[in-house]
Structure 1
Amino acid sequence: MPTTKKRTTTSSRTRRAARPTTKSKRPGSSVPELSDDASNQTVAILQNRLVALLDLQLTLKHVHWNVTGPNFIAIHEMLDPQVLAVRAMSDALAERIATCGGTPLGTPGAIVEGRTWDDYSIGRATTDEHLQELDRVYQGVIGDHRTAIDELEDLDPVSEDLVTGQAGELELFGWFVRSHLGR
C-alpha cells in the first residue's frame, strides 16, 4: 500500500510565522519571557548562590563530623537535616540555572573558583566554637541571598521567589544555631 506524505502548504507556514513571538533567546534557553541579558544576569546570580550552598553543605557536614563536647549529640543530629535541606536548595538552583539556559557548575574546581570568602577554619572543636563560626557562615550566606533577591527583583521574579524561599529556610537554620548559643 503506497504511503502519502503530508505536505506543508505555504499558507500553513505563513500562519506559523505570523504567530506572535517572544523575545529572542540563545539556543538551549527554556524561558522565552526572559531576554538574553536578563537570563545571563540571572544565571550568574544563581551560580553564585549555587557555589555558596554547595560550600555550605560541605561545611555543615564538616561541623557534623568534628563537633565535640557538651551537647555534641544535639548538634550532630541537628546538622544532618540541614545538610539535606541545603542539598535540595542546591539542586533547585542548579535546575533553575539550566531552565534559564545556563550550565550549572558544581564541580570542586567551580566551587573553589567561585568562592569570594575564606574557607571554614575550624577542625575538631567544641560545640560552642563550631556554632559561633557556623552562625557567621549562615549570616554571610543569608546576607548574600538577600542581595541576590534584590538583584533578581527586576530580572526574574521566579528566580527571586526561589531564592527568597531559600533565605527563609536558611534564616530558620541560623536561628537554630543562635538558640543553641543562647542568643
Structure 2
Amino acid sequence: MATNFDPSTLRYTVPGMSDDDAKRVVALLQERLHAANDLHLTLKHVHWNVVGPHFIAVHEMLDPQVDAVRGFADDLAERIATLGASPIGTPGVLVKERTWDEYSIGRATTQEHLSALDLVYQGVISSYRDGIKELDELDLVTQDMFISQTEQLELFHWFVRAHLEDKGGALSTEGATTEAEAVASAGDS
C-alpha cells in the first residue's frame, strides 16, 4: 500500500498535452483543491459559530456556499485524476502546503465573521484569477473549470460583501489586510 503521494508523478495524461504541461496544470489544480477544501471547512465553521441579530440569514446563506465549494473540490480532484496524477485531499498535506493562515475567528457576530470572510474570499478569488492567466497557455479545459468556479466564488463574495456595504457603496473592510483589521472594522458597521 502506497503511503506517500507525489502529485507531479503522472501515470499518463490526456491526449495532446505534454507531460510537463500536465504536471504544471496538476500543481495548479492541487493548489485550488487545497483552497476549496479549506474554504468549505471554514464556511461550515462560520455557519456553526456565527451569532447575533442576523444569525439565521448568515447561517442559511452559508450552506449553499459550503455545498458548492465541496463540489468544486470534487471537480478539481477528478480533473487531477483525469490528467493522470493522484489528487491529495488529506488534512495534514493541506495544512503543510497551504500558503495562507488558519481562520482564527471562533464564536463571533455575523459582522465579525463576514468581515473576516471578505478577506478569505479575496485571497481565494485572487489565486483563482492568477491560475486562469497561467492556464491560458497550458490548458483551456482546466481554465474553463477555473473560470466557472471563479464566477460562483465572486457571487458568494458579493453575498458576503452586501452585508458589509453601506448605502453609499463603501465597504466596512476597506483597507483591511489582516483578519484582525477586518474584524475590528465590524465595530464600525
TM, length-normalised to structure 2: 0.81
Please say which structure displays the higher CA radius of gyration: 1
Give the alignment partner of residue 43 of structure 1, picking from 26, 32, 37: 26
Q: C-alpha deviations, 1:66-91, integer Å up to 9, x for none?
A: 00001100000000000000000000
Q: How does 1:29-178 map to 2 (within 5 A)?
A: 29-178=12-161
Note the C-alpha offset of 1:29: 2.2
Q: C-alpha deviations, 1:126-147, integer Å up to 9, x for none?
A: 0000000001000100000000
Note the C-alpha offset of 1:150: 0.7
Whole-Å separation in 1 of the counterparts to 2:24 and 2:42: 27
| Alpha carbons of structure 1 residues 32 and 81: separation in structure 2 relative to 1, 3 Å | same
| Alpha carbons of structure 1 residues 27 and 175: separation in structure 2 relative to 1, 3 Å | closer
Note the C-alpha offset of 1:113: 1.4
Give the counterpart letter for 1:83 in structure 2: V
Q: RMSD value over aligned CA atoms?
A: 1.1
SS in 1 for 2:89: coil
| Alpha carbons of structure 1 residues 173 and 29: separation in structure 2 relative to 1, 3 Å | same
Whole-Å separation in 2 of the counterparts to 1:39 and 1:113: 23
Give percent identity, aligned residues only: 61
TM, length-normalised to structure 1: 0.84
Note the C-alpha offset of 1:154: 0.5
Whole-Å separation in 2 of the counterparts to 1:110 and 1:50: 11
Greater relative contact order structure (CA < 8 Å, 6+ sep): 1
Note the C-alpha offset of 1:28: 3.0
Deviates more, 1:71-80 or 1:28-37: 28-37
Note the C-alpha offset of 1:180: 1.5
Who is 1:12 aligned against?
none
Contact 2:13 2:84 in 1 (8 A): yes
Contact 2:10 2:83 in 1 (8 A): no
Give the counterpart letter for 1:44 in structure 2: A
Q: C-alpha deviations, 1:160-183, integer Å up to 9, x for none?
A: 000010000000000000002224
SS in 1 for 2:138: coil
Who is 1:28 aligned against?
11
Which structure 1 residue ranges, 4+ long, deviate > 6 Å from structure 2? Answer: none
